[in-house]
Amino acid sequence: MVRKDLSPIIIFKYYATINFMPIAKDLLKILACPKCKGDVKENRMFLVCDNCKLAYPVLENIPDMLIDDAWPLEKAKKVNFKHTLKL
Ligand SMILES: [Zn+2]
């Protein structure tokens, strides 16, 4: 049963959590872009560095922070920040 006091945005966030399994917030806080050491932000299945325009794929909840594995931001945008990579 859906609770009436849950706003649509909370319900959306709940389903987004199931679909994209965000990495732990504590982990996200300490992760940095290996290239510029700047902050990365989560976007669906990628961690994005806006400075470098790079998107680091997250594979089964494990971020791949290798520069060589990073996608150009434009490429990740084209697939709506979803990939089918496996570990
Ligand atoms: Zn960077």
CA of 72 to the centre of ligand 1 (A): 11
Q: Tell me, in angstroms, the distance from the centre of ligand 1 to residue 39's CA.
A: 7
Largest pairwise CA distance in the chain: 47
Residue ranges near ligand 1 (ion) with Cβ within 5 Å = 33, 35-36, 38, 49, 51-52
Q: What is the pLDDT of residue 87?
A: 83
Q: What is the mean pLDDT of the chain?
A: 83
Determine the CATH number of domain 8-78: 2.20.25.10
pTM confidence score: 0.74
Taking alpha carbons only, the member of 24, 56, 61 closest to residue 40 is 56
Pair 56, 64: CB distance under 8 Å: yes
N- to C-terminal Cα separation, the chain: 36
Residue 21 Cα, ligand 1 centroid: separation in angstroms?
A: 23
> What pLDDT score does 46 carry?
96
Instruction: Tell me the C-alpha distance between 9 and 61, whole Å.
Output: 23
Which one-letter amino acid corresponds to residue 27? L
Q: Which residue has the tokens 């922070």?
A: 65
Per the DSSP assignment, residues forming a β-bridge with 41 are 48
Q: In this predicted model, what pLDDT tens digit does every residue of 40-82 receive, in sequence order?
A: 999 999 999 999 999 999 998 889 999 999 999 999 999 999 9
